[in-house]
């Protein structure tokens, strides 16, 4: 039976379930570039270039193996602009006996697939996406009957399942987690390593020209474009991380420095998420290096936890809780996104740097996303839907299965505590401790109220005050609420006044 194998832009893995039993004599692989996928949120131009160029290269590697690939380009005059339209056209062209796909990374696309099951003239088979360590059934079983879905316990199960950093039933080093060793700020005037980036080949240059023409209105710089778009280059990016980033990853995972967007981070999330690298191979390599004592255990453990812990956990949670998860607004936050999210133009230097890095590189590291941008969105009461759409648009690694739980569950607490036991709210002191941003800011993290005070300071207390009904009974919020209650009336009034003035200025 001839099968049309429809591969999506984040499924660029040779071992993908939908390609596994492919018969090159009869089957055709379908790949389509469609405007709808670039515009359902206004994706960063570098993200569009990354995905389309990686798709074009992946199609070429399949062709070199003798596999027939029907590849529809964005500027094909007959392109209908949607997955549905292109699949229907391809079924008419090839008249296959069946269509095979791997389950998608977004609920929205799963809904489309369910429609296709009804409307296509041939059967559609949807295979599990087994590029992950835990299957969705395994996660659902783990979650069943638990009052709280805390990542740490799930992570331990994944350590046991994979044997990464395990000696028999016990964690190597005698502890599951070395996070307490992982919260250092960078020394003053620290020079981070120059990280390997990639130049655009002719395929990427063509895509850059196309994206410049088609998506002029999207925010973010299209050039310099320096992401890997092939598996060999993604492996080089991993080599670079191991050579230059890995040893200090644990120590400086939470640190931030102006003008140093990459520091010791791996920069591999886009490659993992579109399938150029697999989670298992990356962790296996780090596990081996740790066993050979070539890298520190705290760094290896911290890194592996991000991938087999957080990454797997957020995926399980997304599919367990969708579609309701996207609607959560537990703190009733309704403020529009300020314009500076799209331009980076604000006096608050931390936000200027982190949003600026994002617009420049389609990348910001975890603490920039969580403790600067996400923290601001939480404290300012920004509408979760608008914040979710922004995070989905601006990062090269953003797909809803990973973006939504991080934004709704970790940054905004809009899921009401499904993921985190308390909101990750912090004042300017945290940003001052973990970065050099405050040194270049018009505001002072030391001042609590008044025109020079860091807005994070009064917004933090105002946030607690505004949400006292919802949060003050949370056992982990006892201390901040005790401090709030202990404040004198004048200070509380000054906080409310400054927060009101500041929030009004965002409109
Ligand atoms: P490193 O710091 O080197 O970490 C190694 C790897 O661990 C990453 O490549 C990633 O695959 C994984 N990882 C680390 N933290 C997480 C996490 N919390 N959830 C899932 N995987 C994780 N990650 C995405 O891949 N896509 C997103 O759209 C995304 N949106 C986020 C939004 C917010 C508000 C927050 C707080 C985090 C978000 N993250 C997202 C998680 C994390 O910030 C990125 O995975 C990380 O910054 C990617 O850079 P890196 O590859 O250099 O990561
Ligand atoms: C993000 C994206 C973009 C910008 N363009 C395409 C595309 O043209 N063709 C494609 O197959 N995939 C694209 N993608 C990735 C899809 O949006 C992604 O596969 C779905 O969101 C499912 O995770
Ligand atoms: Fe950000 Fe406040 Fe520091 Fe300015 S003073 S950089 S606004 S934390």
Residue 198: Cβ-neighbour burial (10 angstroms; 0-12, 13-18, 19+): middle
- What pLDDT, in 10s, does the model give residues 261-319? 999 999 999 999 999 999 999 999 999 999 999 999 999 999 999 999 999 999 999 99
Whole-angstrom Cα distance, residue 336 to residue 380? 10
Contact 454, 499 (CB under 8 A): no
Using a 6 Å cutoff on CB, does residue 240 contact ligand 2? Answer: no
**Mean pLDDT, rounded, for 196-204:** 97
Residue range 477-490, pLDDT digits in tens: 999 999 999 999 99
**What's the CA-to-centroid distance between 56 and ligand 1, angstroms?**
25
Closest-CA residue, ligand 3 atom 7, reads 348
The pair of structure tokens assigned to 22 is 């492919």
Instruction: Note the pLDDT of residue 324.
Output: 97
What is the Cα–Cα distance from 366 to 253, expressed in whole angstroms? 8
Domains and CATH numbers, the chain: 3-127 (3.40.50.620), 136-192+227-321 (1.25.40.80), 340-505 (1.10.579.10)
pLDDT at 59 over 80: yes
pLDDT at 173 over 80: yes
User: Using a 6 Å cutoff on CB, does residue 43 contact ligand 2?
Assistant: yes
Give percent of the chain above pLDDT 90. 96
Spacing, Cα 410 to ligand 3 middle (Å): 21
- The pLDDT tens digits of the residues spanning 106-149 come to 999 999 999 999 999 999 999 999 999 999 999 999 999 998 89
Atom 41 (ligand 1) nearest CA: 366
- Provide DSSP, 468-506: HHHHTT-GGGHHHHHHHHTS-HHHHHHHHHHHHHHHHHT
CB-defined site of ligand 3, < 6 Å:
348-350, 428, 431-432, 437-438, 441, 443-445, 454-456
- Mean pLDDT estimate for the chain: 97
Ligand 1 pocket residue status of 393, Cβ below 6 Å: no
Ligand 3: residue whose CA is nearest its atom 2: 454
pLDDT at 181 over 80: no
Pairing between strand 166-167 and 170-171? antiparallel
Task: For residue 201, give every residue at least 6 positions away whose Cβ sits within 8 Å of its Cβ, in sequence order, or none.
Answer: 229
Query: Residue 477: CB partners within 8 Å, gap ≥ 6?
Result: 422, 464, 471
Exposure class string for 153-176: b at 16+ Cβ within 10 A, else e: ebbebbbeebebbeeeeebbeeeb
Ligand 2 center–CA 51 separation, angstroms: 7
Cβ of 393 below 6 Å from ligand 2: no
Give me the pLDDT at residue 179, please: 78
Atom 42 of ligand 1 has which residue's CA nearest to it? 366
């Amino acid at each position: 039976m001839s099968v049309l194998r429809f591969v999506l832009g984040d499924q660029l893995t040779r071992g993908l379930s939908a390609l596994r039993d492919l018969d090159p004599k009869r089957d055709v692989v379908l790949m389509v570039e469609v405007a709808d996928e670039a515009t359902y949120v206004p994706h960063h131009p570098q993200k569009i270039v990354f995905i389309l160029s990686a798709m074009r290269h992946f199609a070429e590697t399949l062709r070199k193996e003798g596999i027939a690939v029907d590849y529809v380009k964005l500027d094909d005059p007959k392109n209908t602009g949607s997955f549905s339209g292109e699949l229907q056209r391809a079924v008419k062209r090839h008249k296959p006996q069946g269509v095979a796909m791997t389950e998608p990374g977004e609920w929205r696309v799963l809904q489309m697939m369910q429609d296709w099951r009804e409307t296509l003239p041939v059967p559609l088979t949807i295979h599990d996406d087994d590029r992950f360590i835990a299957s969705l059934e395994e996660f659902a079983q783990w979650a069943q009957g638990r009052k709280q879905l805390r990542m740490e316990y799930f992570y331990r199960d994944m350590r046991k399942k994979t044997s990464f950093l395990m000696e028999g039933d016990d964690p190597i080093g005698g502890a599951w987690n070395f996070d307490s060793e992982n919260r250092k700020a960078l020394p003053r005037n620290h020079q981070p390593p120059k990280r390997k980036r990639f130049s655009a080949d002719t395929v990427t240059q063509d895509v850059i020209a196309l994206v410049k023409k088609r998506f002029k209105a999207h925010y973010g710089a299209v050039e310099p474009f320096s992401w890997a778009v092939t598996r060999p280059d993604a492996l080089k990016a991993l080599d670079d991380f191991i050579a230059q980033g890995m040893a200090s990853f644990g120590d400086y995972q939470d640190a931030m420095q102006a003008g140093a967007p990459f520091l010791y981070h791996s920069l591999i999330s886009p490659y993992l998420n579109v399938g150029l690298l697999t989670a298992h191979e990356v962790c296996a390599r780090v596990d081996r290096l740790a066993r050979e004592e070539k890298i520190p255990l705290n760094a290896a453990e911290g890194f592996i936890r991000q991938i087999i812990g957080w990454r797997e956990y957020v995926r399980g949670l997304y599919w367990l809780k969708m579609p309701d998860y996207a609607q959560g607004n537990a703190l009733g936050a309704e403020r529009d996104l300020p314009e500076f999210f799209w331009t980076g133009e604000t006096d608050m230097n931390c936000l200027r740097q982190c949003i600026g890095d994002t617009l420049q590189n389609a990348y910001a590291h975890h603490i920039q996303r969580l403790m600067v941008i996400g923290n601001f969105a939480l404290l300012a009461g920004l509408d979760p839907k608008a914040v979710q759409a922004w995070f989905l648009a601006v990062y090269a690694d953003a797909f809803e299965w990973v973006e939504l739980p991080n934004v709704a569950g970790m940054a905004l607490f809009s899921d009401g505590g499904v993921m985190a036991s308390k909101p990750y709210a912090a004042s300017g002191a945290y940003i001052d401790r973990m970065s050099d941003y405050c040194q270049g800011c018009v505001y002072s993290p030391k001042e609590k109220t008044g025109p020079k005070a860091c807005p994070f300071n009064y917004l933090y207390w105002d946030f607690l005050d505004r949400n006292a009904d919802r949060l003050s009974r949370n056992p982990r919020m006892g201390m901040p609420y005790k401090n709030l209650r202990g404040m004198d009336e004048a200070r509380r009034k000054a906080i409310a006044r400054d927060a009101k003035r500041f929030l009004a200025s965002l409109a």
